[in-house]
């Protein structure tokens, strides 16, 4: 079985801070990580590889330094790594990104495509389904568990707001995974030592068949008009009280709101 | 593409258990606000219903702001299907030519909207928190969509000048629903549609209810919320919450660490909440968390670090250990409840 895993290298948004003087985002020193939902997707693929045998190919689109991420994914157990990287691809919105990914994927053999549900920098959750649409494949989004892959079908548990659904789709198809699906395994020592010798395929505009008018910033229907940061401020009383007095304070507030008492 | 052919605002109405989802009703309200603010466009608010629903459901859409309902009806559509909904919605876009399409950013909406946008080859903006028609041109219907990015650290305003419809998903709980008005006039455009030409190979085998289904933190009046600092002690919050009829919320850090289930998560990637009282315990106040709770009526923050960002949005800040204060509060309430009358 051939599994393609779509991943993205993202800034760790929990480490981001705002420059209070200028109101801009401080990006320097913010570590980059592999997007959590995507890592769960890779782990799911590797578990299928362990249990039934599979070739796991990791695909990302991004700047050349995405190669570093790919080394880590090799060390976890990936079999092949492809980085789509070209200035012509950059600045793409989700539609243009999906066009680019789909153009590459059409040239590959696959039975299953796994994408993380959403990336923590954009939080759009659009690239998985849009890539599925461009490839004309069925999709299951918000996958919380893979239950079985057999007889040309995949059965998964999909997480909705207040229910789970057990859903079946024929292969090939696209699933998008939640970070809660699986904790990613650690890189193994043998993997790490081999990771640096492994080939990471860089694919540029010239390597894939695609119309330049549907990719990158220029091909993107949505454009960023402006960006800004937001000040959130209320006038708060900050009190240093001992535990008992603090508890009493909260109690009094709840009484004022009539949540306690008559 | 002749952009001038496209008009009106269409809102996808998600139906759950025979009722239109609140997130869709909020969008009808927001669409009505946009249309009323720019009467020269002569736009209508059109709700879109897909399925085998009763006519009552269509009427319901009118009470909350729709001028018209396009009801794509087929007796055999009993539940959501990505392919059937995408096909029917796309066919309707081709015939009706809506200028703007709003879809709630629910699990269903986020499954459907990207499929439709990709099939129509138009732009889609995700998880908007603010909508506005071009503020620089009073005759324009260009939609300015503001949304958070980088975990809520940055906001971006997104436009789509070249393709139609202008599509966006909108975060549930952000827009205001209109007051129910059963006397609003409503045009119902019921279309019996065929699905014979659509093949959806995806099958739902079983639906399971989550154990903690009773917890809907978006509807609670009081939320006692914990951060990573609470560790494995979320039961302390739960005991205190139980005393006050509150529910327990959590930051992303606590959920990611596995201390509590994802359904409790407040923030950019969790839920947006607006309770009467929000008690933040051991939550540092990352921007992505604040994005989900800053609209609470009253915020109490408890944190050991006097510099914690959470104090910046709190009405009252208590510098201290929530794990010490909360059990004392629980006892205090218990004592009060057990007092002799």
- Segment B88-120, tens digit of pLDDT: 999 999 999 999 999 999 999 999 999 999 999
**DSSP 3-state of B222:** strand
CB contact under 8 A, A126 and B210: no
Between A128 and B333, the more confident residue is: A128
State the pLDDT confidence band at B138, using cuts at 50, 70 and 90. very high
Please list every residue in chain A whose beta carbon sits closer than 8 Å to the beta carbon of residue B122. 95, 221
Residue A18: what pLDDT?
67
Give the rounded percent of residues in chain A with a pLDDT score beyond 90: 73
Matching residue, tokens 């080394």: A71
Average pLDDT for A81-91: 96
CB contact under 8 A, A138 and B118: no
A139-150 vs B166-170, strand pairing mode = unpaired
ipTM score here? 0.88
Strand order in the sheet with B316-319: A237-239, B316-319, B298-303, B277-281, B222-226, B247-250
The DSSP element (H or E) to which B247 belongs, if any, is: strand B247-250
Closest CA to B267 of B127, B125, B63: B127
Average pLDDT for A115-133: 95
Residue A109: what pLDDT?
97
State the pLDDT confidence band at B153, using cuts at 50, 70 and 90. confident
State the virtual CA torsion across A125, A127, A129, A131 in degrees, nearest 10.
-170
Number of residues written out for chain A: 262
Average pLDDT for A27-31: 78
- Secondary structure (H, E, C), B186-213: CEEEEEECCCCCCCCCCEEEEEEECCCC
State the pLDDT confidence band at B286, using cuts at 50, 70 and 90. confident
Question: What is the DSSP code string of A70-117?
Answer: HHHHHHHT-SEEEEE--GGGTT--HHHHHHHHHHHHTTS--SEEEEES
Average pLDDT for A167-191: 91
B45-51 vs B7-12, strand pairing mode = parallel
Sign for the CA dihedral angle at B330, B333, B339, B341 comes to: negative
Q: Are B195 and B89 in contact (CB under 8 A)?
A: no
Average pLDDT for A127-133: 98
B143-149 vs B154-160, strand pairing mode = antiparallel
- Segment A30-83, tens digit of pLDDT: 889 999 999 999 999 999 999 999 999 999 999 999 999 999 999 999 999 999
Q: What is the average pLDDT value for chain B, to the nearest integer?
A: 93
pLDDT at residue B79 tops 70: yes
Distances (CA, A) of B303 to B221, B292, B306: 22, 18, 7
> b/e for B257-282, b at 16 or more Cβ within 10 A?
eebbbbbbbbbbbbbbbbbebbbbbb
Rounded-to-integer distance, Cα B77 and Cα B86, Å: 13
- Other Cβ atoms within 10 Å of B154 Cβ, number: 20
Which among A121, A224, A233 has CB closest to B158? A224
B19-20 vs B15-16, strand pairing mode = antiparallel
First-to-last CA distance in chain A? Answer: 66
> b/e for A229-255, b at 16 or more Cβ within 10 A?
bbeeeeebeeeeeebeebbbbbbebbe
Residue A227: what pLDDT?
87
Please list every residue in chain A whose beta carbon sits closer than 8 Å to the beta carbon of residue B332. 247-248, 251
Cα Rg of chain A, angstroms = 22
Residue B134: what pLDDT?
97
> b/e for A129-163, b at 16 or more Cβ within 10 A?
bbbbbbbebbbbbbbbbbeebeeeebbbbbbbbee
> b/e for B234-244, b at 16 or more Cβ within 10 A?
bebbbbbbebb
CB contact under 8 A, B154 and A25: yes
Shortest distance, CA B184 to any CA of chain A (angstroms): 31
Matching residue, tokens 């990336």: A119
Which among A118, A166, A225 has CB closest to B159? A225
Q: Which DSSP letter does residue B64 get?
A: T
State the pLDDT confidence band at B179, using cuts at 50, 70 and 90. very high
CB contact under 8 A, A169 and B202: yes
Q: Which residue of B has its CA nearest to A136?
A: B119
pLDDT at residue B214 tops 60: no
pLDDT at residue A256 tops 80: yes
Q: Which DSSP letter does residue B264 get?
A: G
Token digits for A55?
A: 């070739």
Please list every residue in chain B whose beta carbon sits closer than 8 Å to the beta carbon of residue A13. 150-151, 153, 288
Please list every residue in chain A whose beta carbon sits closer than 8 Å to the beta carbon of residue B158. 222-225
pLDDT at residue A23 tops 80: no
User: In 3-state terms, chain A is what percent helix, strand and coil (to 5)?
Assistant: 35, 30, 35
Token digits for A201?
A: 């395929």
The DSSP element (H or E) to which A54 belongs, if any, is: none
Matching residue, tokens 């209109």: B178
Closest CA to B46 of B11, B79, B87, B95: B11
A9-11 vs A32-34, strand pairing mode = antiparallel
State the pLDDT confidence band at A231, using cuts at 50, 70 and 90. low
pLDDT at residue A193 tops 80: no
Q: Are B309 and B293 in contact (CB under 8 A)?
A: no
A245 touches chain B (CB under 8 A): no
Closest CA to B313 of B267, B269, B271: B267
Residue A12: what pLDDT?
85
State the pLDDT confidence band at A25, using cuts at 50, 70 and 90. low
Q: Are A45 and A114 in contact (CB under 8 A)?
A: yes
Average pLDDT for B72-80: 96
């Amino acid at each position: 079985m051939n599994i393609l895993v779509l991943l993205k290298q993202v800034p760790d948004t929990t480490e981001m801070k705002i420059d209070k003087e200028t109101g801009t985002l401080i990006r320097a020193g913010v570590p980059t990580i592999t997007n959590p939902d995507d890592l769960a997707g890779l782990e799911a693929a590797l578990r299928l590889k362990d249990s039934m045998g599979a070739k796991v190919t990791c695909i990302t689109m991004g700047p050349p330094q995405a190669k570093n991420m790919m080394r880590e994914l090799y060390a976890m157990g990936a079999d092949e790594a492809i980085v789509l990287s070209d200035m012509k691809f950059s600045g793409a919105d989700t539609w243009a990104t999906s066009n680019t990914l789909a153009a590459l994927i059409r040239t590959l053999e696959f039975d299953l495509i796994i994408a993380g549900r959403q990336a923590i920098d954009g939080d759009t959750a659009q690239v998985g389904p849009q890539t599925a649409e461009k490839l004309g494949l069925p999709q299951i989004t918000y996958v919380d568990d893979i239950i079985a892959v057999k007889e040309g079908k995949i059965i998964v548990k999909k997480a909705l707001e207040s229910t789970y659904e057990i859903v079946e789709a024929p292969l090939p198809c696209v699933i998008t995974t939640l970070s809660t699906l699986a904790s990613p395994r650690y890189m193994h020592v043998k993997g790490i030592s081999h990771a640096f010798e492994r080939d990471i395929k860089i694919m540029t505009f010239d390597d894939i068949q695609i119309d330049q008018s549907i990719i990158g910033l220029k091909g993107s229907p949505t454009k960023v008009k402006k960006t800004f940061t937001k000040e959130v401020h209320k006038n708060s009383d900050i009190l240093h009280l001992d535990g008992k007095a603090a508890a009493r304070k909260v109690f009094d507030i709840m009484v004022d709101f009539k949540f306690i008492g008559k | 593409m002749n952009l001038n052919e496209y008009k009106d605002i269409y809102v996808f109405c998600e139906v759950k258990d025979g009722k239109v989802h609140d997130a869709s009703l909020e969008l009808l309200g927001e669409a009505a606000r946009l249309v009323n603010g720019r009467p020269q466009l002569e736009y209508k608010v059109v709700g879109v219903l897909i399925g085998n629903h009763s006519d009552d459901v269509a009427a319901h859409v009118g009470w909350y702001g729709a001028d018209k309902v396009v009801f794509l009806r087929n007796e055999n559509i009993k539940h959501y299907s990505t392919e059937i909904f995408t096909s029917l919605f796309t066919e309707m876009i081709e015939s009706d030519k809506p200028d703007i399409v709003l879809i709630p950013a629910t699990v269903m909406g986020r499954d459907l909207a990207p499929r439709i946008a990709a099939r129509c080859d138009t732009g889609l903006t995700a998880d908007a928190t603010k909508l506005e028609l071009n503020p620089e041109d009073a005759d324009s219907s260009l939609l300015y969509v503001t949304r958070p990015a980088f975990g809520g650290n940055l906001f971006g305003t997104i436009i789509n000048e070249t393709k139609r419809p202008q599509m966006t998903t909108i975060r549930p709980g952000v827009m205001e629903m209109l007051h129910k008005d059963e006397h609003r006039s409503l045009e119902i455009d019921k279309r019996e549609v065929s699905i014979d030409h659509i093949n959806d190979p995806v099958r739902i085998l079983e639906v399971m209810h989550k154990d903690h289904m009773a917890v809907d933190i978006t509807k609670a009046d009081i939320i006692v919320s914990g951060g990573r600092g609470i560790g494995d002690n979320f039961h302390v919050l739960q005991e205190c919450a139980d005393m006050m009829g509150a529910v327990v919320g959590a930051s992303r850090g606590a959920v990611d660490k596995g201390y509590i289930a994802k359904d409790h998560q407040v923030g950019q990637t969790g839920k947006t909440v607006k309770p009467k009282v929000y008690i933040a315990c051991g939550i540092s106040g990352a921007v992505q968390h604040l994005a989900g709770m800053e609209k609470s009526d009253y915020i109490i923050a408890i944190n050991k670090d006097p510099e914690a960002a959470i104090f910046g949005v709190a009405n009252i800040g208590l510098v201290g250990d929530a794990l010490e204060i909360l059990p004392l509060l629980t006892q205090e309430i218990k004592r009060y409840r057990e007092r002799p009358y």
